[in-house]
Homo-oligomer: A and B are copies of this chain.
């Protein structure tokens, strides 16, 4: 059975195409009688809306695009799941794109590479430099997701990175740890902020500088976490008494390296991560982590996106050729979503010792 169009349904029911459209879209002024007859034809022929055609006419596609660096990274997979779920509740379909963390791809997206297929875009950028974006303003609904900020002209939803990192480190300090390694600084804004949170906490606790240690990595992956900790253990410096990993993947790698070297966790070294991916409850030992509320992120992001789509719908499309004024760009909302610390064995020490 092939494509059934409204026209086919209309003929079958003996009404006009427009009336079928009215029934389908729930227009109120249709007589119960007609509505029933059309509905019957609809069912009988198995009509399915062509969203493309509707999208072309109405300017809305019913899609939003979600662009993340790597779909297979647990954090992004779980974020995607949350977004898909939240979008489903709103009758929106999500199109998932993978940027591979390539700033060129990310730039293309901010420049509108997806606007023709999606009503709005959620972008979880990884590497896009803020400097490049300084004078830009998107001409389509866009919400930055997660923690990477590229300037406040773009609305953004995510946890407060600095505070989250501080929370993690404060927890380690409360467990009596002092020689705390911050694992994960890299070129990203994200890494910068988490480093700052670490420094704030260390500073506030008056930990002597000699005990500070920030270990750089390239990517926030298990293998990088493993390699970095491995190297740390093989070095001749004194052993740290805690590792604060900038995300759980790094922490997982760190745990594996510690385990492989026979270092006990948490007795010798306590470990804390960020993200609280599902995996983190099953590591050896279970990992303490800062859990961003993914559902809240997804909900708020979609709400902001819908606001923008609404606004666009009212104002209509800007006239062609009307350039965006650089300079006085209004600041867009930067929403911080809740997070909480989940304490598990990897950081649970007995009474404080020092």
Chain A residues close to B by CB (< 8 Å): 1-4, 8, 48-53, 55-56, 61, 63, 70-74, 77-78, 80-81, 84-85, 88, 93-98, 112-113, 115-117, 139, 222, 226, 252-253, 255-256, 259, 278-279, 281-284, 286, 317-324
Contacts and interface: CB of A to CB of B under 8 A. Distances in A.
A120 B225 CA distance: 39
Contact of A77 (B51, B77, B322, B324): B77
A253 B282 CA distance: 7
B284 A259 contact: yes
A2 B139 contact: yes
A95 B98 contact: no
Contact of A1 (B256, B286, B322): B322
Nearest to A252: B282
B85 A98 contact: yes
Contacts of A112: 48
Contact of A71 (B84, B98, B319, B320): B84
B72 A78 contact: yes
27 contacts: A1-B324, A2-B317, A2-B318, A4-B320, A48-B113, A48-B115, A48-B116, A50-B116, A52-B52, A63-B95, A70-B81, A71-B84, A71-B96, A72-B77, A72-B78, A81-B98, A84-B97, A85-B98, A93-B95, A95-B95, A95-B96, A252-B279, A252-B282, A255-B284, A256-B282, A256-B286, A283-B284
Nearest to A8: B320
Contacts of A139: 1-2
A222 B278 contact: yes
A347 to B, nearest CB: 17
A103 to B, nearest CB: 17
Nearest to A257: B282
B72 A80 contact: yes
A49 B113 CA distance: 9
Contacts of A117: 51-52, 63, 93
Given A74-B77, A77-B71, A319 B2 contact: yes
Contacts of A8: 320
A52 B81 CA distance: 26
Contacts of A98: 81, 84-85, 88
A1 B323 contact: yes
Contacts of A61: 52
A255 to B, nearest CB: 8
A97 to B, nearest CB: 7
A50 to B, nearest CB: 5
A282 B53 contact: no
A240 to B, nearest CB: 20
B56 A53 contact: yes
A329 to B, nearest CB: 15
B55 A2 contact: no
A279 B117 CA distance: 34
Nearest to A88: B98
